Amino acid sequence: MQQTPVFGEQDMKQPPLKSIIRLLACVLAALPLLAAASTLERVRSSNSITLGFLPDAAPFSSQEGDQISGYAIDLCLKVVDRLKTSLALPDLQVRYQPLGEADKFAAVSSGRVDILCSPSPESLVARKTVSFSVPVYTAGLAVMVREDAPASLVKVLNGEAAHSGPTWRATLNQGLARHTYVTIAGGVTEDWIRQRQRLLGVVASLVTVDDFDAGVRLVAEGKADAFFAARTVLQHYRLKSQYRERLRVLERIFDYAPVAMALERGDEDFRLLVDTALSELYRSDELAQVYARYLGAPDETTQKLFKVYALP
């Protein structure tokens, strides 16, 4: 004859419900802490740091075979030196992770890379997912055209009147309309161009590409009329291009934007270490040598910006 257990007898063999609830609450409360291990903790526990970079963003970051180099890469290696000292990790291993423009911030926010060594303009949209170091450079937005570009287009892009007489929005559009422009996909320059198109009512085509070589090639081959990007980058890729004799970078700067390294959002300890390393470098004579290696000798304005960007 099967005996039915008395009420409570079976329950005594199981953990009380309240205890289970408390245990689950503790586990759930701990999950964010486990998932959000700081960058410094990851570096210390793995004895390694992963530097993310765009392989096609010279002179800031580039890759030729196994060789990774650039102005921003050298700055990141100065941060690595600071980490070795601060964490007492003299044998800290450096790993490099190539990224694309589209996934660079996601790689930082997910912890796949510890710092993005290809500087980016800080924006409110970007700050929803990542934080930024102190600025490492001030980029000037410029444009590349062919040597045989229409005079009316060149004049308007240079900020000159395309014709005599009053300059109305409609007459300005005559110089800009019915052309094809190109820029890097997903960047702030793409947003800037689309905003200007809406503001001026310019009817033109905008083509986006994934790398600078592709943009240069489109202009050189006559498939696009102008390539908008940072002036330093345009100059670099024009000089390395087989089409360099067909191309020129106009002198006009359309906009300025300080650019910085992207870091994991909210990780203030790591951000403080990065900013400390960069600020110490700004106050030293060494930065001018690193800058000159990739960008030419810094002028007086650039040297003043070094002092402005350095935190006291």
Give the pLDDT score at 159.
85
Contact criterion met (CB below 8 Å) for 235 and 241: no
Give the span between the Cα atoms of 19 and 133, in whole angstroms. Answer: 45
- What angle do helix axes 286-295 and 300-309 make, rounded to 10 degrees? 130
pTM reported for the whole predicted model? 0.76
Of residues 176, 173, 120, 157, the one with CA closest to residue 248: 157
Q: Residue 56 forms beta bridges with which residues?
A: 62
Give the span between the Cα atoms of 144 and 267, in whole angstroms. Answer: 39
Indicate whether 91 pLDDT > 60.
yes
Show Cβ contacts of residue 303 under 8 Å, excluding neighbours closer than 6 positions: 288
Give the pLDDT score at 9.
44
How far is C-alpha 291 from the chain's CA centre? 18
Give the span between the Cα atoms of 139 and 142, in whole angstroms. Answer: 9
Each residue's pLDDT tens digit, 162-218: 444 444 444 445 578 889 999 998 878 998 899 988 888 888 899 999 889 999 999
The tokens of 241 are what? 């291009």
Indicate whether 28 pLDDT > 90.
no
Indicate whether 94 pLDDT > 90.
yes
Of residues 285, 284, 262, 286, the one with CA closest to residue 274: 262
Q: What backbone phi and psi angles, to 5 degrees, belong to 112?
A: -70, -35
Domains of the chain: 39-138+259-309 (3.40.190.10), 140-256 (3.40.190.10)
Locus of tokens 């953990």 = 15
Q: DSSP secondary structure string, 222-239?
A: TS-SEEEEEHHHHHHHHH
Using left for φ > 0, alpha for ψ between -120 and 50, and beta otherwise, residue 222 falls in: left
Give the pLDDT score at 18.
56
Q: DSSP secondary structure string, 72-92?
A: HHHHHHHHHHHHHHHTT-TT-
Cis peptide before 5 (omega within 30 of 0): no
Indicate whether 34 pLDDT > 50.
no
